[in-house]
Amino acid sequence: MTVPVMNPADTRQHATFTALMWALSYPGRATRLPVAGPDALTLIGETLVDLETSFFTPDAMLTARLSHTGGRSLPADSASYQFYPRLSRSDLDLLASAPVGTHVAPDLGATIVIGCALGWDTRLRLRGPGIAGTREILIAGLPDAFWSLRAATARAPLGWDIFLVTDNAVLGLPRTTAVEVLSWPM
Amino acid sequence: MTLADLAHPRQDYSYGFLDAFARRELRRRILKAIAIPGYQVPYASRELPIARGWGTGGLQATLSVVGPQDVVKVIDQGADDSVNAANLRRFIARMTGVETTTDTTKATIIQSRHRIPEERMDKGQLLVLQVPDPEPLRHVQPDSSQAREMHADADYAQMWLSLYEQLVRFGRFMQGASYPVIVNGRYLMSPSPIPRWDTPALHQSAHLTILSAGREKRLYAVPPYTDVRPIEFSDVFFQVEDQAGRVCTLTGAGQKYMDELPQPSGESRFRISDTGYVEKLLKMAQGESTKIGPTYYDDAGQFWMPGVIK
C-alpha cells in the first residue's frame, strides 16, 4: 500500500489550519498563511466552513466564494463563522449581534475573521493564556469602537474568537485574551 | 494527454485516514478548545481501524493536525515500544508518511497515553493526550447533563468536599492519576490519567496540549502559558509521587518517574518510565553523542519552575 499524499486542497487547508491553531495558541504572534490578500479570508473559510456549519459576511463577492464550501449563509446574529474583509463602523452593529455562546455551551460563540493591517496605528497590550506575561502589538484598519465592543461582549468563557488577517499573516485573539488599548507615545 | 494524466493519482485512503469533513470538524473543535481552556468541546468521534478506548481520541486529534513536515512520537505509559504506542505510530506513519522518532526534543507532535515526557517540551510542540474519561465530576455527579451545568456555573463545591473527605478518612489526597486541575482559574479539568508527577508540567508550559477522548466524544485543550493548578487546600498541598530512594536499574538515575518491577523475592526494582529518555541516558553512558534536553525535575527532585509544587 502506498502512503496517501495530500491533494492541493489538503495542503492549502492544512497550512491554513496550522497557522490558525498556532495563532490562537500564542495570541498576538503572527503566523503565516499560504496565500495573501482577499484570498486569505476565502481560504480560512474553505478550511473551517462546510455544510455542517454557517457563515456570514457583508461582502457580496466573499459570500459567493464562501457558498462553495456548502456552509449555510445566515445573518450575523446566528452565523458561527463571520468574515469581515474590512470592518467599518457600520459593520460594528452587525458584529455586535454575533453569538457569544452560552454558559453551558460557550463553544457556540462565533469565530470572527477580520481583515486589517499590522504594524502601525492602535497600540494594544495583550494578556492571557498563550502569552508569557504581556505582549504588545500594533493594529490598523479597525474602528476604535471595536475594542470597547469586544471588551463589553467577550466575557470569558463567553465571547468571540477573532482572527485578524493582514496580507498573508494571521493573528489570533481568543476570548480569553484581555486587550488594553494603549495611548501614544510609546 | 490521457484522462489519467489529468486526474489525481488513485489513493486508497485520504491523507491522514480521516475524510475532509471529519478533519474539518475536528479542526473547528480544536480551535474552540484552545480558545476556551479546559472546556470540553463535544465532537463527532469517527470510526477508526482501532477500537474505541485504545487511543482513538488522541489519534483523531493527531491525524487532523499532522502534516508532511511533522515528526511524530507516540508513547504509552512512557514507553515508545509498547504495543499500543507501536501500533498507533505505525498507523500514523502509514497514513501520512511522517517521520517518527523516540526523541522528545525532535518531535513536533507527541501523542501520549498517560505520561508527559521527562524532558521539557518547548514552544511550537504539540502534546496530544489520549483521555479515557474526560469528566472530572463523574465521581461526584454521574449525570453528564448535570455535570455540564456544574461546569457552566463553575460549581465545584462537591469536588472540594470529596477532597476533604479523602483527607479525613485517609489523612491524604487519595487521587493518584487524573488528579483534577483548575485551568485558567475557570474550568475543572481531568488532565487524563497522567501521574501526579506529570501534572505540574502542564502549568505555564511553553507547548500546546490537546486532550481528546474518542469514546466519550469530548476534546479539550490547555494552551501554552496557561495556569493549570491542581486542586488543593491552602494548608494541605498537592504532592507529587515521592521518587526519593528509587534508582533506575538500567541507568542508575534517580528522581524521575519510575516503573516498579516486583521481584520474586518480594522486593522491587525500578526503571525510568520514559523509554526515550532512558535511551538517551544509555547512549550518553556509552560515550555516544546525544543531546538531552532540560528535564521537568532536576537530579534533586526539584521541579524546574519554583513555587508550582508547594
Q: Is position B254 within any domain? A: no
**A64 to chain B, closest Cα gap in Å:** 20
Distance (Å, whole) CA B155 – CA B169? 24
Q: Which residues contact A184 (CB under 8 A, 6 or more apart)?
A: A123
The count of domains in chain B is: 1
Per-residue pLDDT band at B263 (split at 50, 70, 90) = very high
Evaluated on CA atoms B111, B114, B119, B121, the torsion sign reads positive
CA distance B4 to B19: 23
User: Phi and psi for B148 in degrees, rounded to 5?
Assistant: -65, -40
Strands (E) in A21-101, as ranges, are: 31-32, 54-56, 72-73, 81-84
What are the structural domains of chain A?
A: 8-182 (3.40.50.11310)
Residues on chain A touching B25 (C-beta within 8 angstroms): 50, 52
Quick one: average pLDDT of B175-198?
95
In chain B, residues 181-220 whose CB comes closer than 8 Å to chain A: 184, 186-187, 204, 206, 208
Closest C-alpha to B65, from B110, B105, B23 = B23
Q: Which of A6, A10, A157 sits opposite B186 (nearest CB)?
A: A157
Are B97 and A26 a contacting pair at CB < 8 A?
Answer: no
Cα atoms found within 13 Å of the Cα of residue A64, Cβ hemisphere only: 2
Put simply, the answer to whether A10 touches B24 (Cβ < 8 Å) is: no
The answer to whether position B155 is within a domain reads yes
Residues in chain B with CB shorter than 8 Å from the CB of A111 are 31-32
pLDDT(A185) > 90? no
Q: Which residues of B touch A24 (CB under 8 A)?
A: 31, 34-35, 223
Whether B195 is in a domain gets the answer yes
pLDDT score of A55 more than 60: yes
Q: Is B10 on the interface with A (CB under 8 A)?
A: no
* Under 8 Å between Cβ of B195 and B257: yes
pLDDT tens, position by position, B49-81: 999 999 999 999 999 999 999 999 999 999 999
pLDDT in tens, A106-162: 999 999 999 999 888 899 999 999 999 999 999 999 999 999 999 999 888 999 999
The C-alpha cell at B279 is 535511551
State ipTM.
Answer: 0.97
Is B261 contained in some domain?
no
Q: Do B39 and A107 touch (CB under 8 A)?
A: yes
Q: Is residue B240 in a domain?
A: no
| Contact A135/B at CB under 8 A | no
Q: What percent of chain A has pLDDT over 70?
A: 98
pLDDT score, position A186: 55
The span from the CA of B246 to the CA of A74, in Å, is: 62
* Residue B196 within a domain: yes
Residue B285 lies in a domain: no
Residues of A in Cβ contact (< 8 Å) with B9: 5
Distance separating alpha carbons of residues A4 and B17, to the nearest angstrom: 8
Q: Count CB neighbours of B42 within 10 A.
A: 14
Contact by Cβ (8 Å): B271, B250: yes
CATH number at residue B172: 3.40.50.11310
pTM of the entire predicted model = 0.96
Q: How confident is the model at residue B20 (pLDDT cuts 50, 70, 90)?
A: very high
Tell me, yes or no, whether B163 lies in a domain: yes
pLDDT of residue B176: 87
Domain span including residue B176: 20-230
pLDDT value of residue B8: 75
Pairing state between β A134-140 and B41-42 = unpaired
The pLDDT, as a whole number, for residue B133 is 95
Per-residue pLDDT, A154: 82
